[in-house]
Structure 1
Amino acid sequence: MSRMAAKDRREELIAAALRVMVRDGVAKATTRAIVGEADMPLGVFHYCFDSREQLLQEVITRFTDSSVTAARKAFEGNGDLASRITKSLSAFWAGVELNPGEHQVSYELTHYALRQAGFEELARRQYQHYLEVHEELLTEAAESAGVRWTVPTPVLARYLNSVLDGVTLCWLVDRDSEQTHEVLRLTGEHLMSLAGKRT
């Protein structure tokens, strides 16, 4: 099996694992279920991954990277601070409604990692990455708009991450998009109220 072939098989197994988890949940994403979804023999799985946990680690990393990329892209471009915040929140929410299953799986994987001995650090890195990106984007937005945040940026990043986490989980339960959009609008307004003139 060539190196490129092994890499391709790894990618197919990661994609298959995500499909199984979205459809059936993390608990049912067994090694056999994943190789069955990928239409591969069981031996290929063990050639590509040391364990199911290693594959789940890859899935978490991919989802985290995807979320971060979407956040960065949404904040790109010109416009005043209010329009950039609105655009970013709207883009984030469009991604949630487009792929609700993946977002549900991300919560399942976070809790799974926290409960598995030796995997707690993976969940911590996942959320630390989110917080770092939020802080970076908030800093960049303030600098480009010529304002300063009136609360410490790390606190603001944690606040924003908490709101987005909470509103996503609540929507996954009740699918109330109308009220969710109102929450996001209020979040944008609150962020703007925390932007002061730079001295």
Structure 2
Amino acid sequence: MDDDPTEPQAAAPSRPAGATRKGAETRARIIKGALEALENGGMEALTTRKIAASAGVQLATLHYYFDSKESLLLAVLEDLIEDMAATYQAEIPSSPDPEERIETVIRSMWRYVQRTRNKQIAQTELTLYALRTQGAEWLAKRQYDAYIDFYARLIFDGVGEISENHQRIGKAVAGFMLIGIDGLILQNFALHHNEDAEDGLDALVVATRDYLHRLLAQAAPTAG
């Protein structure tokens, strides 16, 4: 990695953490340090020296575990999604009704957003960095593919075996939800209009349910 946060770098996989607990703990500490640097100072703060200082490791150790900025950012992204998953699993009750789950998921999403303002801004900066940096565009796609897959699973969790149609519909609905949530995040953070955000959230729940209902109706076999 290089200390210039704007220099394009080729994607490279991170080195394995190793079989020891110490190795896994060191890798996790580096990821945490990178996330803290990103949350507190944006991409400009995401230099090897600042990450190493935040993680409490030597530069050589950081380079051993992550030999490109993109490999480290991918690990940060995976950590963010794991944190969301743990939160949602604790908050979302099991229900076989996907329309009911949509409201529960969206409202849980918004509670998480409100608790993690700096993380949300960091995720937006991560997306913009990937889109602007030649050779890193794949990271933005990986980011949204991961979010869509995650929310699609939540929508149909509890309905039994998920068919190919349900997988397709779940991804379409998850993408629709993210469009609304992304817009509400930026608007709410910029304007601080919490009442407007709640109204927007209610509208998003209704619109997403209607979208799911329409897609399920289109996928249902016709009688005759």
Q: Scaled by the length of structure 2, what TM-score is found?
A: 0.72
Q: How far apart, in 2, do the equivalents of 1:100 and 1:171 lie?
A: 10
Q: How does 1:158-169 map to 2 (within 5 A)?
A: 158-169=175-186
Give the conservation status (yes or no) of the 8 Å contact 1:64–1:126. no
1:98 is matched with 115
The 8 Å contact of residues 16 and 37 in structure 1, kept in 2 or not, is answered as yes
State the AA in 1 paired with 2:116: N
* Partner Cα separation in structure 1 for residue 45 and residue 130 of structure 2: 15
Tell me, yes or no, if the aligned pair for 2:30 and 2:55 is still in contact at 8 Å: yes
What residue number does 2:34 align with? 17
TM alignment of 1:6-45, pairs within 5 A: 6-45=23-62
Code of the residue aligned with 2:146 in structure 1: it is H
Q: Residue type of the partner of 2:182?
A: D
Structure whose residues are more often helix by fraction: 1
Root mean square deviation, CA, Å: 3.1
- Residues in 2 aligned to 1:41 and 1:184: alpha-carbon distance in whole angstroms: 45
Rate the CA distance shift 1:60–1:186 in 2: closer, same or farther, 3 A.
same
User: Which amino acid counterpart does residue 160 of structure 1 have in structure 2?
Assistant: M
Cα deviation, residue 179, structure 1 = 1.0
Structure 2 unpaired stretches of 5+: 1-17
Q: State how 1:10-159 maps to structure 2 within 5 Å.
A: 10-68=27-85, 70-71=87-88, 74-78=91-95, 83-140=100-157, 154-159=171-176
- Work out the percentage of aligned pairs sharing the same amino acid: 24
Larger mean Cα displacement after TM superposition, 65-74 or 119-128: 65-74
Could you tell me the TM-score, scaled by structure 1's length? 0.80
Name the CA distance, whole Å, in 1 between partners of 2:71 and 2:99. 41
How much has 1:77 moved relative to structure 2? Answer: 1.4
Gaps of 5+ in 1: none
Matches of 1:95 and 1:167, distance apart in 2: 13
Shift of 1:12: 0.5
Amino acid at match of 1:126: Q
Alpha-carbon distance, 1:136 to partner: 3.6
Aligned partners of 2:74 and 2:87: how far apart in 1? Answer: 20
**2:198 matches 1:190:** no
| Equivalent residues of 1:139, 1:153 under 8 A apart | yes
Name the CA distance, whole Å, in 1 between partners of 2:145 and 2:139. Answer: 10
Aligned to 1:178: 195
- The answer for the alignment partner of 2:12 in structure 1 is none
Count of residue pairs the alignment pairs up = 194
Distance 1:82 1:163 in 2: 17
Deviations 1:61-106 (A, max 9, x none): 2223433554566554138555433322221111111110001100
